[in-house]
């Protein structure tokens, strides 16, 4: 068992069993708020709850943990308050209070996490699209995130393993098993290749019609880029994409065959302006801003240019308010828009949905240091 917190996390105020018991004592939303309160502790929780309820919750948690140990699951638990909790997932409006994991959780702390999702009963064309996308992504050292379902999910996981990339499987049930059972071998290969399984459900809990949609928010939350390969009009894939849109993620959908009903979900997402269409693996890489085939543009920077670029980040899209608060000296919004437009045309800045911006290339450190010393 991973009894210690992963990734150098700060010491938690509760053990895994205590965290599980505290979860049983609260509704998820209430427990989430408590975990974000720096004054919360398990001891304080004991004082607030009837002793009989605390004893029952502890017994249930201890039994669950004992079953996981008996199955040699090598299970880890990380709470929303711990440093090992995935940063992007913590930013969404409804992150799971607890995450259970097997394997190497550091896989989802990669700077480039990409979700590829699609239909379970997907078409041969969808399989080809998935394989082409993964081949194009392979040089970019991504972590592939998907849901371990049949069809597109499984094809994406398989392609990631074939390319030597880590991959994370987000499951809609406890980590004692794999659903569907036919994907058990694939799931074990993910663990062997330094990937991970992730769930918000304790071991022993099965899947239900409710847990699949809630699982989809974890897929969307873990990634800045979500790629829809093939989606029916009513599908879990569309739920993932719409959640990604709500979380201000970048959502992309393969351009649909207009006469093919299996791509109708893609067409819906594009028509609703909730996904950006792409028509090749290469165009998707360009939309990500990861086209490394070309050298960075000319670096004819003024001091004002460097200050603007220094207020942007390679990984996290920043909105106008954030950029304004970082810039010194501040400027008017209209002036900032003009400067960003110029930087975008020069090839150094990417504009994202929601009027947010990132750097396209790493800034030359020497020039930044020279500007700061000027």
Same fold, 105-288 and 303-373: no
Distance CA 200, CA 194 (A): 20
The candidate with the shortest Cα–Cα distance to 88, out of 356, 353, 359, 316, is: 316
The candidate with the shortest Cα–Cα distance to 167, out of 179, 159, 175, is: 159
- Asked whether the CA dihedral 278, 283, 319, 238 is positive or negative, the reply is positive
CATH 1.10.10.10 fits 303-373, yes or no: yes
CATH architecture of 105-288: 3-Layer(aba) Sandwich (3.40)
Verify cis geometry, omega within 30 degrees of 0, for the bond prior to 180.
Answer: yes
Contact 18, 40 (CB under 8 A): no
Domain ranges, ordered by start, for the chain: 1-73, 105-288, 303-373
Strand residues in the chain grouped as ranges (E): 76-79, 98-103, 113-117, 143-146, 167-170, 196-199, 225-228, 250-254, 276-278, 318-319, 349-352, 356-359
DSSP tag of 107: G
Contact 226, 218 (CB under 8 A): no
Query: What pTM, to 2 d.p., does this model score?
Result: 0.72
Note the residue count of the chain: 374
Tens-digit pLDDT string for the chain (374 aa): 544 333 333 335 578 899 999 999 999 999 999 988 888 888 888 888 999 999 999 999 999 999 999 888 899 999 998 888 999 999 999 999 999 999 999 999 877 899 999 999 988 888 999 999 999 999 998 999 999 999 999 999 999 999 999 999 999 999 999 999 999 999 999 999 999 999 999 999 998 888 999 999 999 999 999 999 998 878 889 999 999 999 989 999 887 765 577 888 888 888 888 888 887 788 788 788 776 655 666 667 788 888 898 898 877 788 899 999 888 888 888 888 888 888 887 778 887 766 788 887 777 554 544 544 44
Hunting for tokens 């928010």 — which residue is that?
Answer: 217
Distance CA 257, CA 259 (A): 6
Q: Judging by beta carbons within 10 Å of its beta carbon (0-12, 13-18, 19+), is residue 127 exposed, middle or buried?
A: buried
For 92, how many CA atoms within 13 A lie in the half-sphere containing its CB? 25
Residues 6+ apart with CB under 8 A from 19: 12, 42, 77, 79, 98
Contact 117, 149 (CB under 8 A): no
- Residue 146: beta bridge partners? 169
Helices (H), 312-373: 320-326, 333-346, 365-373
Contact 38, 12 (CB under 8 A): no
Distance CA 193, CA 160 (A): 10
Contact 14, 42 (CB under 8 A): yes
Residue 300 structure tokens: 């004819």
Hunting for tokens 């550091």 — which residue is that?
Answer: 106
Give the three-state DSSP class for 215: helix
DSSP tag of 90: H
């Amino acid at each position: 068992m991973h009894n210690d917190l992963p990734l150098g996390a700060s010491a938690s105020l509760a053990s895994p069993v205590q965290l599980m018991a505290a979860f049983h004592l609260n509704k998820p939303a209430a427990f989430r708020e408590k975990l974000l309160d720096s004054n919360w502790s398990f001891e304080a929780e004991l004082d607030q709850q009837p002793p009989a309820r605390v004893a029952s919750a502890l017994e249930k948690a201890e039994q669950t943990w004992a079953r996981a140990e008996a199955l040699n699951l090598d299970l880890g638990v990380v709470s929303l308050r711990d440093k090992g909790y995935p940063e992007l997932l913590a930013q969404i409006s409804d992150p799971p209070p607890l995450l259970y994991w097997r394997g190497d959780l550091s896989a989802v702390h990669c700077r480039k996490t990409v979700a590829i999702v699609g239909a379970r009963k997907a078409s041969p064309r969808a399989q080809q699209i998935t394989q082409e996308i993964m081949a194009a992504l392979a040089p970019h050292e991504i972590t592939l995130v998907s849901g371990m379902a049949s069809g597109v999910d499984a094809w994406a996981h398989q392609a990631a393993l074939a390319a030597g990339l880590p991959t994370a499987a987000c499951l809609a049930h406890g980590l004692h098993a794999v659903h569907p059972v036919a994907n058990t071998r694939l799931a074990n290969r993910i663990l062997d290749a330094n990937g991970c399984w992730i769930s918000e459900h304790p071991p022993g809990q099965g899947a239900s019609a409710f847990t699949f949609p809630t699982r989809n928010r974890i897929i969307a939350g873990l990634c800045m880029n979500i790629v829809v390969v093939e989606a029916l009009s009513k599908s879990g894939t569309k739920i993932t994409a719409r959640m990604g849109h709500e979380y201000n993620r970048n959502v992309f959908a393969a351009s649909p065959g207009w006469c093919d009903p299996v791509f109708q979900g893609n067409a819906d997402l594009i028509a609703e302006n909730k996904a950006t269409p792409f028509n090749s693996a290469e165009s998707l890489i360009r939309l990500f801003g990861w086209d490394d085939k070309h050298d960075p543009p000319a670096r004819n920077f003024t001091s004002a240019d460097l200050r603007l670029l220094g207020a942007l980040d390679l990984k996290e899209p920043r909105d106008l308010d954030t950029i304004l608060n970082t810039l010194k000296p501040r400027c008017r919004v209209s002036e900032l828009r003009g400067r960003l437009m110029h930087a975008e045309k020069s090839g150094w800045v990417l504009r994202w949905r929601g009027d947010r911006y990132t750097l396209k290339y790493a800034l030359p450190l020497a020039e930044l240091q020279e500007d700061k010393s000027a």
